[in-house]
Every structure is written in C-alpha cells, then in structure tokens.
Structure 1
Amino acid sequence: MTNNHNNAVLAELTMTVLPPPGAPDIEIARAVKPWPIFEVAQRKLGVAAHALIPYGHYKAKLDLAQLDTSKKQGKLVLVTAITPTPAGEGKTTTSIGLTDALNAIGVSASVCLREPSLGPCFGVKGGAAGGGRAQAIPMEDLNLHFTGDFHAITSAHNLLAALIDNHIHWGNELNLDSRRISWRRVMDMNDRALRHTLVGLGGPAHGQPRESGFDITVASEIMAILCLADDRKDLQRRLGNIIIGRNRDNKTVTARELGADGAMTVLLKEAIQPNLIQTLEHNPALIHGGPFANIAHGCNSVMATRTALGLTDVVVTEAGFGADLGAEKFIDIKCRLSGLKPDAAVLVCTVRALKMQGGIGKGDLDAPNVEAVTKGAENLVRHIENMQQFGLNPLVAINRFPTDTDEELTVIKDVCLGLGAKVEEAHHWAEGSAGAKAVAEGVKAILDSGSPEVKFLYEDAMPIDEKIRTIATRLYGASDVQFNIAAQKQLDEIHQQGFGHLPVCIAKTPYSFTADPHMLGAPTDHVLPVRELHLMAGAGFVVAICGDVMTMPGLPKQPAALSISLDDNGEIVGLF
C-alpha cells in the first residue's frame, strides 16, 4: 500500500470522533466504522472476494484452497513481554499498535493473534482484542463466539470422549482399561467443579462408571493440533495419533484405532481456516486458534502465520504471557515443528509492572518510585538475556502510562542499553499508530539489517527430563528440577514408547519464573517441581505440569460475568 493510501486511512480516523483515552474499550471500538471485510481483504491483502468465506459483514474465513501465497515471503516479528502482573503489560495492544504503525510508515503489515477463550472473558483476565486505540474489531464478536472455532474444537474433543465410552459400553473390542483412559472432556469456561468427575453412573444402561474430568478447551490437545497442523491431511494424521489411554496389556490405544479421526476432522473442516478481521485503522488481523501459554504452547496457528507471511511484507505475532513461557514455546515448539522463525523480537514492559516486580502493591503504582523500578528491572534483565540465548536481541517497547516519570523511564532505558538492546517508548494505547511510530521504525531497522540466527534451547535428541532441566536452569534461574513419583514413572513410559525426541511444553504459573506465583523479580536457586507429564502424541510435544497449575481454571470471587449484560437497546455492556 502507498503512503497516500495510509494517510487517507489516518485522515478518516482523525475525522472520526473517538472517545477520550481511558474510555471503555468497547466504546472506542464502536466509534470506528469498520470496512466491509471484502474491502479489507482486497485493499490490504490483494485477496479477491471468492477466497473469503464471510461470517457477516466484518469477519470472514480465508479459503486457503483459493489463495496463492507463494509470491511473497514476509518477515516475522515476535512480540513477547516481561512476567505479567495485575498492572498489565499490553502484548496484544502493542502487537496491534505496532502493526498499525508499520502500515502508517509505508510497510505492508498484518497481525496474527490467538482467539480469546470465554473462560477469561467471563472470569478475570478479560478478552484478547487489544485496548484503547490499538484494538481488533469487531471486538464483541472476537471476544465472544467469533466464528465458532472453539465450539468446533470442543465438539470434536467431546466426540472422541463419547466414542470411547460408547466403545467400552458395546463390548470393548480394543480391550481398553477403563482405569487408564487419559482422554477427558472439555468446555470453554472456567468451572473448577468439573475438574474431577465420575461418568457412567446410573446402571448398565448408562455406561461403565469410571473417574474422569474436564479441562478448559484451550488446553485440549485438539486445540494444539489445530494450531500446529499444516493442512487438513496433516490435521487428520495428528488427530489419529492422539493417545486415548491404554488397554489391559498396558499398550497405548490411539484415536485412529478407535476409528474416530475422520469424524473429528469433519467437525474441524471450517475451523481449520484462518479468520480475518481488522484493526481500528483497517489493517488486516488474522485471528486463529487459542492455546493458553501457561498450560499449552500459547501461539496462533501455523496456517494463519504462513498465510499472512505470503500476503504481507511483515507479520506481527504474539506469544502468550511472559517470554519465559510464550516466547520459549514459540521458538522451541512452534518454530521447531513448522520451520518458521522470527526475524525480530519486541519485548513489552511497563513502569507499573516493574514496580510490582519490585514489591510495590497495585494501589501504590501511581506514585513515583525509582527504587522499585530499579529493583523490578531484574525481571526485565532476565527476559532480555533469555531472548538473547535464542539469538534474538529484542527491541524493548515501554508501554507508557501517564503516571510514568522521566526518571523511572531512564532506569529502564539504561538497563536495556547496558545489555545491548534497543528501547523505545510506545503510546499506541492513547494515540494509535502515531504513538507507536518509534517502535515501528526501530523494528523496521532491525528487519532491514538482516535475519538473526535463531537457536533452539535444546536438541531433539536430549532426553525429556534434560530438556525440562535445561529450560528451568537456563531460563527460570532454577538450580534443579524435581520429579515426583508419578511424573518419574510417566517419564520412563514416554521414553520406552519412543517419544523422547519430542519437545517439551512447560505448564506452570505465568506470574513467576518459579512454580510459586508469589515469587517476583528474578529468583535463583529454586527447584522446579514437576507433578505430571502428559504425552500429546498428536500435537507432537510432552506437557510437564509443574506446581499447582490447573488445566481447568476456576472463576474469581467477583467474575467479570456478573457485570456483563444487555442494555435496553440490545447492546452489550460491561464487556471491558
């Protein structure tokens, strides 16, 4: 796109009367009239109408069979962050603001993000559409049912669960051991009461009683598979590789042996196509897949990322939570399994978050406190050094708040420059693309300087326990890893089955480098406790459950759902 075109878009937005910064995100989003999705596709991506499957006027799926993405191979920018706090860091907001700013300086750019889960939307974290003047729209649709992908994943997952119990009920030809069924059920809502359940009660007509439970949909192996699959054929292959449990001879049984992979693929035939919406400044946003980064690999789909790279010169994508979880899994899992690699990285931080890392409570963050920022900067230092271990020297984007002082910002800038990392202030939340131009110029300079040599943290041949220990000691500052008896037994079984070459996905609290969410800053000499190991043979990685992390979250004392409703005009209120 030309600069004249980008200037016309910005002029249109300038004439739009936007609510002031600080207004609810939903009010800002509603103040911008979105372009019809066909117009976004044509003007920003060069994609014709026949390659879209519309879901209303402002969102659509991209029909990959109708797209030619071989003409262009864009560059990939990974956005990650310091350890998250209740003060907020703003990865998604920064990803969108950076995309808008790149377009504003004449670079054809798109953003690739994950879809939000209903669990956090109605819980405490909120949605995943960005914030302020750096949002993806339509934000209500995105944060609620969107195009139904999560419902399709939930249905495919629970179809497999139903087929397992049905198989046992009708004679159990595969000789499944009902005590060793590992495939649980899922739903896309936080519901702690369903973590552990009994199924099949009520007598012989209702199945065979056994223990089971529910996870949240974003923790489903099918979510991970959808996000790592290359195409529909690869999707079905991976679905067939899912291990559902063991038979009475203690041998693993797969979904393919049960005959479930075909029907599951049918339920996902539309969900596998990436979704296209737009930012407030009408730039393309591909939103697809939504695995959590604390209990899964935390990246949008490989198919969406590859598609965007074939349609724009630069693709901005984010990895969930802090760099110790999201960025590590992006590189060691997504890049390893897909062949993708980032050409640049942005590390987001805020003065407020560093104050919290320095021990200041949420109610005292507005007061200037250089000492707390200095202490909390230990967390930033470790994240920068961790990213450098992957061969990526990040540009640190300081997501600025009005209460930040020049002295506090100087502390952060000095820390970054002392480690050889570029650093820029960002004001996109309040100003949109205009507030992120410095970050965009910095990213463009990195991209223009050539591609880095991205390195994995460990080799495929390294045993699973050593992979976990490498991550814990090199990234988390741990002195060692401790496997409980159950995890040690599972570790031995995984190696005996020939899956020791798989990458590992650490499931732990996102709020600390340790397994204890209350240990802030950059602790050292702690021990990472591994409670369970889950083999996800279909997705192609092994999940290490550490500490008290749950694969089915609970709702807080005051869930966001209690404030969400419809007004007299049928408009949603209370949604962020």
Structure 2
Amino acid sequence: MSALGKKKLSDIEIAQNTVMEKITETASRVGIREDELELYGAYKAKLSESLLSRLKKKKDGKLILVTSINPTPAGEGKSTVTAGLGQALNRIGKSAVIAMREPSLGPVMGLKGGAAGGGYSQVLPMEEINLHFTGDLHAITAANNALSAFIDNHIHQGNELGLDPGRIVWKRALDINDRSLRNVVTGLGGPANGHTREDQFSITAASEIMAILCLAEDMADLKKRLSAITVGYTYEKKPVTVEELGYQGSLALLLKDAMKPNLVQTIEHTPALVHGGPFANIAHGCNSLAATKAALKLGDYTVTEAGFGADLGAEKFLNIKCTTGGLVPSAVVIVATIRALKMHGGAGLDDLGKPDASALLSGCSNLQKHIETIRAFGLPYAVAINRFSSDSEEEIQVLKEWCAENSHPCALAEVWEKGGEGGEELARLTAELAEKPSAFTPLYKPEDPVKKKIETIAAAVYGAAGTIFTSKALKQIKEIEANGWGELPVCMAKTQYSLSDDPARRGRPEDFTITIRELKPSTGAGFIVALTGEVMTMPGLPKKPAALNMDIDEAGRAKGLF
C-alpha cells in the first residue's frame, strides 16, 4: 500500500486490517512455551508465575526509556514511537521487547482517545487493550473500593482501632473521568447506613493500589506493600494501616491475576508487555516493574515509556522506579514533535499545522531543558523527531540543524506512517548509544530531607527559581518525617503542559516558583505525593468527550477509538 493510501486510514482501521498472529507464536520467538502462558483468547495472554520464576535466572538486556517534551493536549505520540522503535530494532537484527502501560478509560473516553500507539506502530488487539483488556484496571478498582468498604465497616462495627472518620485518607476510585465524584458525602440515611462522612474519588490510574501493583516485584512484595497502606489516623493522630485492619490477604487475592504481566503484539508482531497504567501527572507514570523485568530477560533490548514529558514520567521512572527495582537504563529517547515545539514557541493551538520556523526554533528551549534533565541523570540520549503529516520538510530540516548545532544526537521517526521501517535510523542510533557505559545517578539520596528532595526536583528538573510550601504542606512534612517516612522518594503531581505548575506557561519559563500545596504519604507504594498547582486526582471530561465518536457496528467491530 502506498504512503498516501496509509494516511487515509485511521488508527483503528489500520489495526482492524492487520492480520494478527496467535499470541503463542509471538511468545515462542522470545523463548516462551505455550504452557507458560495463561491465554485470554487467541491474541493476548498473561505470563505465568512459573515463567517469571524461570526468567529470574537469565541475564538482563539493555533498557531503553522513551520520554518526551511537554506535550500538546493531543499528546506527542510517545507510545507510537515506543512501539515503532521496538519494531525497528527487530528489523535491524536486534531482539527487542516492548513494555508499555495499559490505557485508562478516562483519557480513552475523554480527551485523547485510544492509547495503544498509532498508525503502523500500534499494540494489538487495539480495541481490547483500550477497553477492558484482561480486567486489570477493574481488579484494581475493586480492590481499592473493597478497602473503602472495609474501612467504613470497621467504623460502623465499633471502631476498635479508634479511626477518626474526619481523618480517613483512603479514597474510593473509578476508571473514568467524573468531576462530580471529587467530593462526596457517604453514609447518609441514618446509623443503619454507616457513619456519615465526607469522602472523595480518584481515577483508578491515580489509586495507590495501581502504584503498588506497578512497583511490586512479586506476590510476597505485593502483600507487604498492601499491608503498609496508611488508610487514616486515629483521634490521637496515629497512622492506621491495612495490616492493622487485617485485609491485606483479601486485597492480594483480588489482585492475583492482575499482578501477572500481559503479553500482546505490535502490528509487526514484536512482543509487547502491556501492564499497569498509573498517570504521570498524578502518580509515577510507568508500567509495572514486573513487566519491565520480564521484558529485560526476554529480549536483548527492552523499549519502555514513561508518561508525559521528562519533567514528569522520566523523572519518576529514574528516581522512583529505577531505585525501587534496581534498574539501570542504557539510553533515553526524547520524543519531540514540530507541532509541540511550535506551541512552546508561541504558536496557537489552531495554528500548529501551519509552517512556522521562527516559533519552532523558539520552542526548542523546551526540548533543551528536557535534554539537560536527562544529562543530569548521567544518561546518553537521542532526540526522536516524531513526524506528522502536517510537518514541512523545511521545519524538519530546521530542527535537525538545531540538534546538530547543539551536538544533540537526532533521528527522524516516521513510524506512524511506515512502522518499523520508519524507525530504523532511530533504532541504529539508540543501539549505538546503549553500548556506551551508563553513568546513571538519581538526583537525590533517600536520606535527604523531604523538603530538599522536592526543591532538588523543582530546580534541577523544572528549572524553578524557588519552591513555596504552604503552611499545610510544611505541617505535613513534619508529620511525615515524625512517622518515619522521610526516606521515601517524592512523586510530584504537576501539570503535564508546562515545566512550571501553571499549564499556560509554555516553552522554558524563567523566574518562576513551584508551590507545594499538600503532601500525601503513599506508604504502600513507597513514595510521598507532592501536589502542586491545581492538579486533581479525579479529572473531568471535556465539553466534547472522545466517547461521542465511539460506536460498535452490527458485526461487533469497534468504531471511533482513534
């Protein structure tokens, strides 16, 4: 099919026109036996515990992280580049496995639409991955809300632990954007219906149980982390954990299948482990540690992504996930698009398809800051120019020349249109960079005070001139350190659209401060969430949600998933 013909097809049409191979065939090419899979139909499977146990004895391959600049509201194709780079590495003779996050129904039905890559660099079956998949997110939602029920029942049945109903910090969850559930009152209708109290909902991708599942090494670690969840505080302000309530076993039971990584394939049949889906602007934004570690054993190269820009996903991947799991990345790919650079250079959202070399060059300041962040971690990097059909040859050349003038390794990625073939230049460059010695070093030490950790991230990653802590945040830091949680890493909750905490400040802002309004210890996940600006843990739907374009035909084929 010609390139012109390819462009006329939507992502879902390309996916539906692809002939998938049986997942057992995909698995066999990386040494997985059929009896080591738990099949969910013909095209998706979970990795069995016996396989995960066997893989522990194998040597790790190279770990490639894909991140990006600050995106436009539509995203910059980071998942597409991740899938395309994995395909391209296999095309040039490398053995590559992809590790990606599972989509949340919030963005799928909200603003962005489907989240399984795009064009000829997708993970399949695209419709199932974007909807219920193997049920992992539903299991996490169920475990989250079961814990809420257990907490309320404990209070209703006599409150043996002395939980203060006004200091319950555990929220309910739902895997869809629903602003009406941000603040609710539960237990109305008198004593027979429970204790009346204020409550809140988070989107499932922001649930601490999602983060726990994505950072747990195995079932024993999962139970340990679930036990350590802080659900609230007593009237004497003593923290109360799940272990004290006694429900860690039942929560782990609800998650027994969700804990196992999911195996699918790309359009070119590259193996892909799609597992876990925490948001990066609220949570830590990385797929599961279990899936990443399995991928490292299955291929010579693992290509994984971290949500949004390097200021969010990559920072958390490197400071939280890598330190938790003992991972050492070999190289980082920073995805940049012409349209996002023009936005950061002052072009309006409605003008991003128009040629504007001046805005492009001005917006390169945003790319430069993300490059500096990756350098600060001591890692080799490459800029991937993710090409869109609206990009002019002149603009592509301008960006290439800017990279050359500033000594930034760079490659054009045309993986949306051409699949792995369009990523071979990037694959060769990335493989070359991955052979260099890694000088990876986290930006802060566990023993650093909480305040210093936050200030380090704000200055080194965002470029902030200073950090402002509200009186509430300062009080919470004292409580966190007094409770013995001070050595935990920090998970910053911040807008994805700007290096600052103000989404309207594009490019590379200067002379700005970051305001820390609140801190929340996620003692089970093993990090402290620091909320900045107006970030909320339950997003709202846009005026015209992507769900308006979704349908299913009489033959059962999905429509409108992008």
The TM-score by the shorter chain falls in which range? over 0.9
Secondary structure of the residue aligned to 1:57 is coil
Secondary structure of the residue aligned to 2:276 is coil
User: Which 10-residue stretch deviates more, 452-461 or 364-373?
Assistant: 364-373
Which residue, out of 324, 332, 335, partners 2:319? 332
* Runs of 4+ off more than 4 Å: 16-19
Partner of 1:49: 34
1:161 matches 2:148: yes
User: Which 10-residue stretch deviates more, 90-99 or 398-407?
Assistant: 398-407
Partner of 1:142: 129
Secondary structure of the residue aligned to 1:162 is helix
Partner of 1:404: 391
User: Which 10-residue stretch deviates more, 32-41 or 66-75?
Assistant: 66-75
- Checking the alignment, whether the CA contact within 8 Å between 1:22 and 1:132 is kept in structure 2 is no
Secondary structure of the residue aligned to 2:86 is helix
Which residue, out of 479, 483, 497, partners 1:493? 479
CA distance, structure 2, for counterparts of residue 366 and residue 182 of structure 1: 45
CA distance, structure 2, for counterparts of residue 419 and residue 324 of structure 1: 21
Q: Deviations for 1:52-76, whole angstroms, at most 9, x for unmatched residues?
A: 0011110000003234212231110
Partner of 2:170: 183
- Checking the alignment, whether the CA contact within 8 Å between 1:241 and 1:538 is kept in structure 2 is yes
CA distance, structure 2, for counterparts of residue 65 and residue 382 of structure 1: 44
Pairwise CA distance, 1:87: 5.6
Equivalent residue letter for 1:155: A
CA distance, structure 1, for counterparts of residue 223 and residue 307 of structure 2: 26
Question: Residues 152, 349 of structure 1: CA spacing in aligned structure 2 closer, same or farther, 3 A cutoff?
Answer: same
Partner of 2:270: 283
Q: Deviations for 1:433-458, whole angstroms, at most 9, x for unmatched residues?
A: 1111000010111123x331101111
Equivalent residue letter for 2:40: Y
Partner of 1:64: 49
Secondary structure of the residue aligned to 2:6 is coil
CA distance, structure 2, for counterparts of residue 94 and residue 17 of structure 1: 18
Secondary structure of the residue aligned to 2:298 is coil
Q: TM-score, normalised by structure 1?
A: 0.95
Pairwise CA distance, 1:513: 0.5
1:30 matches 2:2: no
1:452 matches 2:438: yes
How many residues of Structure 1 are paired with residues of Structure 2 in the alignment? Answer: 560
1:343 matches 2:340: no
Partner of 2:535: 549
Equivalent residue letter for 1:36: K
Equivalent residue letter for 1:566: I
Pairwise CA distance, 1:362: 2.5
Partner of 2:508: 522
Partner of 2:411: 424
Secondary structure of the residue aligned to 1:45 is coil
User: Which 10-residue stretch deviates more, 497-506 or 408-417?
Assistant: 408-417
Equivalent residue letter for 1:560: A
Pairwise CA distance, 1:19: 5.7
CA distance, structure 1, for counterparts of residue 147 and residue 498 of structure 2: 35
Which residue, out of 483, 495, 498, partners 1:509? 495
1:565 matches 2:551: yes
Which residue, out of 115, 123, 138, partners 1:128? 115
CA distance, structure 2, for counterparts of residue 518 and residue 532 of structure 1: 21
Pairwise CA distance, 1:155: 0.7
CA distance, structure 2, for counterparts of residue 357 and residue 505 of structure 1: 25
1:470 matches 2:419: no
CA distance, structure 1, for counterparts of residue 137 and residue 312 of structure 2: 22
Q: TM-score, normalised by structure 2?
A: 0.98
Pairwise CA distance, 1:213: 1.0
Partner of 1:321: 308
Partner of 2:241: 254
Which residue, out of 503, 515, 519, partners 1:533? 519
CA distance, structure 1, for counterparts of residue 354 and residue 324 of structure 2: 46
Which residue, out of 208, 226, 230, partners 1:221? 208
- Checking the alignment, whether the CA contact within 8 Å between 1:344 and 1:443 is kept in structure 2 is yes
Question: Residues 345, 157 of structure 1: CA spacing in aligned structure 2 closer, same or farther, 3 A cutoff?
Answer: same
Q: Deviations for 1:146-201, whole angstroms, at most 9, x for unmatched residues?
A: 00000111111111110000000011110111111111100101000000011111
Pairwise CA distance, 1:481: 1.0
- Checking the alignment, whether the CA contact within 8 Å between 2:380 and 2:433 is kept in structure 1 is no
Secondary structure of the residue aligned to 1:20 is helix
Equivalent residue letter for 2:469: F
Percentage identity across paired residues of the two chains: 53
1:112 matches 2:96: no
Pairwise CA distance, 1:413: 2.2
Flag structure 2 segments of 5+ consecutive residues without an equivalent: none
CA distance, structure 1, for counterparts of residue 326 and residue 279 of structure 2: 21
Question: Residues 402, 571 of structure 1: CA spacing in aligned structure 2 closer, same or farther, 3 A cutoff?
Answer: closer
Pairwise CA distance, 1:367: 2.4
Pairwise CA distance, 1:403: 3.3
1:171 matches 2:158: yes
CA distance, structure 1, for counterparts of residue 47 and residue 8 of structure 2: 34
Pairwise CA distance, 1:561: 1.3
Equivalent residue letter for 2:395: E
CA distance, structure 2, for counterparts of residue 377 and residue 521 of structure 1: 8
CA distance, structure 1, for counterparts of residue 242 and residue 104 of structure 2: 26
Partner of 1:85: 72
CA distance, structure 2, for counterparts of residue 66 and residue 575 of structure 1: 33
CA distance, structure 2, for counterparts of residue 23 and residue 239 of structure 1: 45
Q: Deviations for 1:94-138, whole angstroms, at most 9, x for unmatched residues?
A: 000000000011100010000000111110112221000000000
User: Which 10-residue stretch deviates more, 404-413 or 95-104?
Assistant: 404-413
Pairwise CA distance, 1:236: 0.3
Q: Deviations for 1:345-381, whole angstroms, at most 9, x for unmatched residues?
A: 1000011111111111222223221111111111011
CA distance, structure 2, for counterparts of residue 423 and residue 22 of structure 1: 28
Pairwise CA distance, 1:569: 2.3
- Checking the alignment, whether the CA contact within 8 Å between 2:81 and 2:415 is kept in structure 1 is yes
- Checking the alignment, whether the CA contact within 8 Å between 1:472 and 1:528 is kept in structure 2 is yes
- Checking the alignment, whether the CA contact within 8 Å between 2:330 and 2:380 is kept in structure 1 is no
CA distance, structure 2, for counterparts of residue 88 and residue 180 of structure 1: 37
- Checking the alignment, whether the CA contact within 8 Å between 2:68 and 2:336 is kept in structure 1 is yes
Secondary structure of the residue aligned to 2:7 is coil
- Checking the alignment, whether the CA contact within 8 Å between 1:72 and 1:311 is kept in structure 2 is no
Secondary structure of the residue aligned to 2:205 is helix
Equivalent residue letter for 1:444: A
Q: Deviations for 1:514-557, whole angstroms, at most 9, x for unmatched residues?
A: 11101000001111111110000111100001010010000000
Flag structure 1 segments of 5+ consecutive residues without an equivalent: 1-13
Equivalent residue letter for 2:558: I
- Checking the alignment, whether the CA contact within 8 Å between 1:87 and 1:356 is kept in structure 2 is no
- Checking the alignment, whether the CA contact within 8 Å between 1:87 and 1:353 is kept in structure 2 is no
Secondary structure of the residue aligned to 1:61 is strand
- Checking the alignment, whether the CA contact within 8 Å between 1:122 and 1:560 is kept in structure 2 is yes
Secondary structure of the residue aligned to 1:478 is coil
Pairwise CA distance, 1:411: 2.9
- Checking the alignment, whether the CA contact within 8 Å between 2:462 and 2:500 is kept in structure 1 is yes
- Checking the alignment, whether the CA contact within 8 Å between 1:393 and 1:421 is kept in structure 2 is no
